[in-house]
Amino acid sequence: MALKLLQNPPNPWHSEHVEWIDAPPPEAKLEIYEEEAKTVLSENDSPDVGFRWSLNPYRGCFHACAYCYARPTHQYWDFGAGTDFERKIIVKINAAEKLREAFWKKSWVGERVVFSGNTDCYQPLEASYGITRACLEVCREFRNPIGMITKSALIQRDAALIGAIAREAQAHVHISIAFADNEMARKIEPNAPSPEARFGAMRSLAREGVPVGVAVAPIIPGLNDTQVAEVLERAKDAGATAAFRVMLRLPAEVKPVFIERLTAAYPDRANKVLNAVKEMRGGKLYDSRFGVRGNGAGERWQAIDWLFELTCKRLGLNVRGDMQDPEPPKTFTRPLLKGAQLELF
């Protein structure tokens, strides 16, 4: 599929929404590739992921999180999983059009569509392109249930729209917050909004009546495992009603990116963290088996998991699997086409 490189891409820092992005621009050159996608819905058959359909308006992610499990997917486009993933962003400019086409097909029965099953649908370029918002408007038009996961405060822009979908169909949003410490988050997630900004986004969504949860992900032993309770407490205070957690995943090319970033940021702690991960992975840095890859093992992981579960119980947070929300209601309705009333006579 042909990609079109933009010589002068939109600047996400020059926008009416810039105050919500809360992150410095990256040092390396940003390259934007526009794509006319053939389809926009991806079908998931992983047994440990709680949704079938996902929608990702962007490939690659400007947030540049060192641990992002989606990095290897960028290699399918002959890009690298490191800085290419962070600075060569593919934009599906016709995503809303393709979503509408999918909803008009007789085979579509109104199942939940989860935004950001791979890369963040609210990364900074969304402030310029508005593709995620356009797709949300299609979902509201057809009253199709949605789920969303993001670590961007930019979602506040669409809080009222998501609230309308929550009332007319169903919407659940999880805000991903791995760190309570802003400085630590900036070192590992350099271009993502601060945790404080994300808690603010959570409050905005809750005020609009959107069921919102927190994804404590990833839990990195020896780095942020002591912050789990604080993240949950602050999320509850910001209006969260649910939570889930995921252990650090280091598949394939993610591993060297994470190790390099961790070593640069915390040279005195890196070996301790990596040894703790191995301790919870049977001596390895990663176990790719379904049902295992998002969890750890051993006494240390059991202590982390116990703390997570106990804190959620104390706060009244509903513990869910990864995006495993209740079965959505059957609200899906195809809008009446202009002039279609004549067909009734």
- pLDDT value of residue 342: 42
Residue 110 has pLDDT above 70, yes or no: yes
Pairing of the two strands 212-219 and 171-176: parallel
Lowest mean pLDDT of 17-26, 49-58, 96-105, 324-333, name the range. 17-26
Q: How far apart are CA 259 and CA 282, in angstroms?
A: 19
Helices (H), 69-125: 83-87, 95-104
Residue 7 reports pLDDT greater than 60: no
C-alpha to C-alpha distance for 257 and 259, rounded to whole angstroms: 6
Instruction: Give which of 261, 292, 342 is closest to 85, Cα–Cα.
Output: 261
Structure confidence at residue 27 (pLDDT): 61
What's the pLDDT at 162? 98
pLDDT at residue 344 greater than cutoff 50:
no
pLDDT of residue 49: 74
Query: Which is it for the CA torsion 285, 288, 294, 300, positive or negative?
Result: negative
Strand residue runs (E) in the chain: 3-6, 31-35, 41-43, 53-55, 58-59, 88-92, 113-115, 146-150, 171-176, 212-219, 242-247, 318-319
Residues 6+ apart with CB under 8 A from 194: 22, 23, 182, 185, 186
Residue 140: both structure tokens together: 């509201």
Q: Is the pLDDT reported for residue 34 higher than 90?
A: yes
pLDDT the model gives residue 18 = 46
Which domains, from first to last, does the chain contain? 18-324 (3.20.20.70)
Q: Specify the pLDDT at position 39.
A: 95
* Mean pLDDT, residues 102-124 taken together: 95
d(CA 217, CA 112): 22
- Report pLDDT digits (tens) over 261-308: 999 999 999 999 999 999 999 999 988 888 888 899 999 999 999 999
CA distance 165 to 137: 9
On average, the pLDDT of the chain sits at 89
pLDDT score, position 267: 97
Instruction: Lowest mean pLDDT of 70-74, 197-201, 285-289, 301-305, name the range.
Output: 285-289
Hey, what are 165's tokens?
């979908």
Q: How far apart are CA 29 and CA 7, in angstroms?
A: 12
Q: Work out the percent of the chain whose per-residue pLDDT is above 90.
A: 76
Q: Which pLDDT tens digit goes with each residue over 210-241?
A: 999 999 999 999 999 999 999 999 999 999 99
Collapsed DSSP state (helix, strand, coil) of residue 210: coil
pLDDT beyond 50 at 168:
yes
3-state secondary structure (DSSP) of residue 266: coil
Confidence (pLDDT) at 51 = 81
Judged against a pLDDT cut of 70, whether residue 37 lies above it is answered with: yes
The three-class DSSP label of residue 5 is strand
Identify the pLDDT of residue 137: 98
Ranking 105-114, 145-154, 244-253, 321-330 by mean pLDDT, the lowest is: 321-330
Q: Could you tell me how many residues make up the chain?
A: 345
Predicted local confidence at residue 294, as pLDDT: 87
Mean pLDDT along residues 10-26: 53
